Amino acid sequence: MSLLEETPGDLTRKYQGSFVWYNKKLRYIGSFEKKEDGDTDPLCVAFMSKPGERRYTTEQVLDDDEIENIHFDSHFFNSQHWDKEGVTIPNEGLALKYERVPRRQWIRSLSPQTCLITTVIGPFMNTLGIATNNIVELQFSHVSQMIEPYYPSYNKAIDLLPRVRTIALSPNLALLPSPYEPDVIYIRSLFALIGKAEPDRIKVYHNGSYQEVLDYVKRSNETIQVELCQIT
Amino acid sequence: MPDNLELTDGVEHLIEEFNADPYQQGALQEAEHRRLVDRNQDILMQPVYGQQQVARPEAVDPFEAYRVAVRQQGNQQMFRNAPLARALEDGAPVKKRKVNDEITFSSLIRDLFYIPAPPRPQLQDMDEVCRVLKLLTQKPYHFEDGKSLVGIEVEVENVLSVGPNIQLLFWQMVEDGSLRNRGHEFRNRGPIPLNYVEPALELLWRELNPSIDFSGRTSIHVHMDVRGFELNQLLTLLCVYAVVETLLFKFASLTRRSNIFCVPITETSLLTNIPFDSPKRIVGSILDTWQKYAALNLLSLQRFGTVEFRHMPGTKDTHKLLIWLDMLNHMKVFAYKTTLETALEDIGRLNTTSQYKEFLERVFGSLTAYFDMSNLARDMEKGVYIVKNLAVANPFHMSLSAMKVSEHSLLAKIVGFGSLVDRIGSEKYQLVRQFRSETKLPGTLAQIYDSLMRNPYHYLSTHSEKSELILKIIGATA
């Protein structure tokens, strides 16, 4: 059964509050409805400019292929571009982790129901007594950043860190200030802390992640020394 | 027993004759069999929906009729397995089982979840049905381990008619709310050996109307029996699967990757959340956090002692399905033969494309040729890295996790946990004081400094006359 044959109620259940590609453009869906228009009763979709927005624009759905679901692979991204005007760095810093959630629900495309966005330092901040949400609500800006991710060079990221608190270096690596030691920056993978970051040098303390860091250096054309270290 | 006597009577007669002397006097002649089938088709091959809805095959359970006939005749040849009869009391829910408390890496899955041997059709009966219904092909697909048990769920739409033989031995038809357009799910009545999958599928395709539809909503799920696996063998299977997950999706269908009912586990934290150090916590973690709609569903362990692979979209391509089953079985056999330690060591050493390929050949043998290896490094590196994170102990992370968050740490300094002078030094502190006194901004010095650091552009635009001072504070140049 094609999209056009489904009821507006079903489509609304499947897409309300989710981000989709609509005619190759990123859109946020409010609802579907059938406009009473003589014999045809065309199917229409209401788009909102962002979550929580009351205003919406309506367009007629003409073709099945107009709507395309969005899903990403798990990765780190920066919630905003730090060098843009008007940017306020959130409490939890820039680096966020995206992963998919296979829970039972209706929504088909990218939405808070189908993914989980977590911070890198939320739990540490809470331990310090600074209330921070570890789970972040999916925003339009997040989706834009995931579609066109922007990662700084390694040394630039280290320079930026005091201002931006956490920053993603690549889809698989991020920097965060140490919550344990003074003047130490940690580098972490999607799964765990793996080493220490210094200007022009990464000390990897986890054997299994050594290759991952080497791959990052190679792909980003950085001139950084990567050292495999043992814990003393 | 269904109330519709007219229908069941027909099938009962068929089965009685079938059962009359299947082993000593020879099976039914084909002509006789066809006569019986044709006679019943008049009744059974009616549209599933429509005016004669009374004839819905769901209500016509020849298996049930057969069982009654067997009971009446005291003939236990067809189904000797006593639990089968009990399990076939349709609708009987399978209860969640209690988990065995004494868990080690060597514990068997069937012992962990108290899963008894499942009821299943006897080999002789399957052979007989295959022979009588002429389901055996000239060149059957050769499985390396054809005795391995599987259960298959086939979702189909546009089911207009259901032949009488479908539910005879191999399949049962159930409703599936996720399907539309006369959609039904056909699942095996019990686990069947791989060698019998081909005739079972042949029977299904033959007995359904040719216009059945495999829309995007349909899929084919495969349950692999792992009751005899030890916990560490199951973990080996999990690790090997993670490494090749993307390749499996590429073989089955990449579109399934973005399906919300078949989410790749390497894109979730399901696998990485499993604490590999403690068998008890491993089992607890799987039961508590695993999700049914993961591409590899482990929740069926508790119910059936199986792992469920949900990747395959609906298709009538029997050859592709058989290769798919063979691939899954190769993984199972590899996991059975390889200790967790060895598997983790092997995966831990995978760094190059040629090593990836070699690993694939070790697991899948000649089936490796069916994988799309155009971008092997990209397709396997994430899975390999996940397993390396599970496998190679990360004492760095563990040692840090044991530490207490410090007020003197860099994080504390950055987020303003200490005094502002300590954090930024007296020189910058004076600059912030100067900035506050000149701008008359409300708030403490620490608040103003943090705000400045987090949004310098705002202040540069609202206090452009102080831009030099702002740049000095944030440590940037114009």
Is 70 exceeded by the pLDDT of residue B98?
Answer: no
pLDDT of residue B239: 95
End-to-end, the C-alpha distance of chain A in Å comes to 63
pLDDT of residue A104: 85
CB contact under 8 A, B260 and A74: no
Tell me if B333 sits within 8 A of B225, measured CB to CB: no
Q: What digits encode the pLDDT tens for the residues A43-94?
A: 888 888 877 777 788 888 877 667 889 999 999 999 988 877 777 888 889 9
Cα nearest neighbour of B262 on chain A: A102
CA B314 to chain centroid: 15
Under the banding of pLDDT at 50, 70 and 90, the label for residue A189 is: very high
Mean pLDDT (whole number) for B266-291: 90
pLDDT of residue B97: 53
pLDDT of residue B419: 72
Using CB atoms, which residue from A1, A161, A191 is nearest to B180? A1
Under the banding of pLDDT at 50, 70 and 90, the label for residue B273 is: confident
Using CB atoms, which residue from B267, B399, B461 is nearest to A74? B267
Is 70 exceeded by the pLDDT of residue B200?
Answer: yes
End-to-end, the C-alpha distance of chain B in Å comes to 87
Q: Both tokens of residue A208? A: 């299994």
pLDDT of residue A82: 83
Is 50 exceeded by the pLDDT of residue A154?
Answer: yes
Burial of B56 (C-beta count, 10 Å sphere; 0-12/13-18/19+) = middle
Tell me if A110 sits within 8 A of A71, measured CB to CB: yes
B392 reaches A (C-beta below 8 A): yes
Cα nearest neighbour of A232 on chain B: B396
Tell me if B406 sits within 8 A of B418, measured CB to CB: no
How far is it, in rounded angstroms, from Cα B461 to Cα B467? 8
Q: What digits encode the pLDDT tens for the residues B154-191?
A: 999 999 999 988 888 899 999 888 888 899 999 999 99
Q: Which residue has the higher pLDDT, B407 or B364?
A: B364
CB contact under 8 A, B394 and A206: yes
pLDDT of residue B48: 37
Under the banding of pLDDT at 50, 70 and 90, the label for residue B65 is: very low
- CA angle (A107 as vertex; A102, A111 as ends), nearest 5: 80
Three-state DSSP class for residue A50: coil
pLDDT of residue B49: 36
What percent of chain B has pLDDT above 70?
78
- Written as one letter, the residue type at B17 is E
Is 70 exceeded by the pLDDT of residue B58?
Answer: no
- CA angle (B270 as vertex; A76, A119 as ends), nearest 5: 30
Burial of B125 (C-beta count, 10 Å sphere; 0-12/13-18/19+) = middle
Using CB atoms, which residue from B260, B389, B453 is nearest to A114? B260
B39 reaches A (C-beta below 8 A): no
Is 80 exceeded by the pLDDT of residue A120?
Answer: yes
CB contact under 8 A, B180 and A88: no
How far is it, in rounded angstroms, from Cα A51 to Cα A28? 7
How far is it, in rounded angstroms, from Cα B255 to Cα B369? 21
How far is it, in rounded angstroms, from Cα B322 to Cα B201? 10
Residue-averaged pLDDT of chain A? 89
Q: Which of A128, A134, A226 to mutate to test the interface with B (most CBs of B within 10 A)?
A: A128
B310 reaches A (C-beta below 8 A): no
Is 70 exceeded by the pLDDT of residue B67?
Answer: no
- What lies within 8 Å, CB to CB, of B297 at 6+ separation is B290, B291, B307, B308, B309, B310
Is 60 exceeded by the pLDDT of residue B36?
Answer: no
Is 50 exceeded by the pLDDT of residue B5?
Answer: no
pLDDT of residue B476: 67
Cα nearest neighbour of A172 on chain B: B382
CB contact under 8 A, B405 and A179: yes
Is 80 exceeded by the pLDDT of residue B75?
Answer: no
CB contact under 8 A, A103 and B386: no
Q: What digits encode the pLDDT tens for the residues A172-183?
A: 999 999 999 999
pLDDT of residue B300: 94
| SS3 annotation, A158-226 | HHHHHHHCCEECCCCCEEEECCCCCCCEEEECCCCEEEEEECCEEEECCHHHHHHHHHHHHHCCCCCEE
